[in-house]
Amino acid sequence: MKRFTSNSAGGARAAVPLGWAIGGVIAAVSFAALLVFLSPPARAQEKLISDEINTVIPHAPYPVSARARALHASIPVADLHADPLLWKRDLVKRNNIGHIDIPRLREGGYALQLFSVVSKSPKGENYVKNTGDSDGLTDRIKRDGWPPRTWNSILQRALYLADKLKDVEKRSDGAMRIVRTKDDLRRARQDHVIAGILLSEGAHPLEGKLSNIPVMYDAGFRVLGLTHFFDNEVAGSLHGVSQSGLTAFGRQVIPAAEAKGMVIDVAHASEATVRDTLAISKRPIILSHTGVKGYCDTPRNVSDATLKAIADHGGLVGIGYWDAAVCKPTLKNVTEAIVYAVKLLGPEHVALGSDFDGGVPMPFDASEMAALTSSLLDAGLDEKTVRMVMGENAIRFFSTYLPDK
Q: Which domains does the chain have, with CATH numbers?
A: 43-401 (3.20.20.140)
Q: What is the pLDDT of residue 37?
A: 34
Task: Give the mean pLDDT of 259-271.
Answer: 98
Residue 207 near residue 213, CB atoms below 8 Å: no
- Nearest CA to 231 out of 129, 310, 325, 301 is that of 129
pLDDT (tens digit per residue) in 22-76: 344 333 333 333 343 344 444 444 455 578 899 999 999 999 999 999 999 999 9
pLDDT band at 13 (very low <50, low <70, confident <90, very high): very low
Q: 61 exposed, middle or buried (CB, 10 Å; 0-12, 13-18, 19+)?
A: exposed
Q: What is the pLDDT of residue 348?
A: 98
3-state SS class at 303:
coil
| Rounded distance between C-alpha atoms, residue 33 and residue 129, angstroms | 9
Residue 285 near residue 263, CB atoms below 8 Å: yes
Q: What is the pLDDT of residue 8?
A: 32
Q: What is the pLDDT of residue 2?
A: 30
Torsions phi, psi for 355 (to 5 deg): 65, 30
| Rounded distance between C-alpha atoms, residue 399 and residue 31, angstroms | 44
First and final CA of the chain: distance in angstroms?
Answer: 50
| Rounded distance between C-alpha atoms, residue 299 and residue 14, angstroms | 13
| Rounded distance between C-alpha atoms, residue 86 and residue 223, angstroms | 17
| Rounded distance between C-alpha atoms, residue 249 and residue 257, angstroms | 12
pLDDT (tens digit per residue) in 211-220: 999 999 999 9
pLDDT (tens digit per residue) in 292-317: 999 999 999 999 999 999 999 999 99
Whether 198 has a pLDDT exceeding 90, the answer reads yes
Cα-based distances in Å from 280 to 209, 312, 318: 19, 14, 22
Across the chain, which distance is largest between two alpha carbons, in Å?
58
Q: What is the pLDDT of residue 49?
A: 58
Q: What is the pLDDT of residue 268?
A: 98
| Rounded distance between C-alpha atoms, residue 68 and residue 256, angstroms | 43
* Amino acid in position 350: V
Q: Which of 5-14, 164-173, 215-224, 357-366 is predicted least confidently?
A: 5-14
pLDDT (tens digit per residue) in 365-401: 999 999 999 999 999 999 999 999 999 999 999 999 9
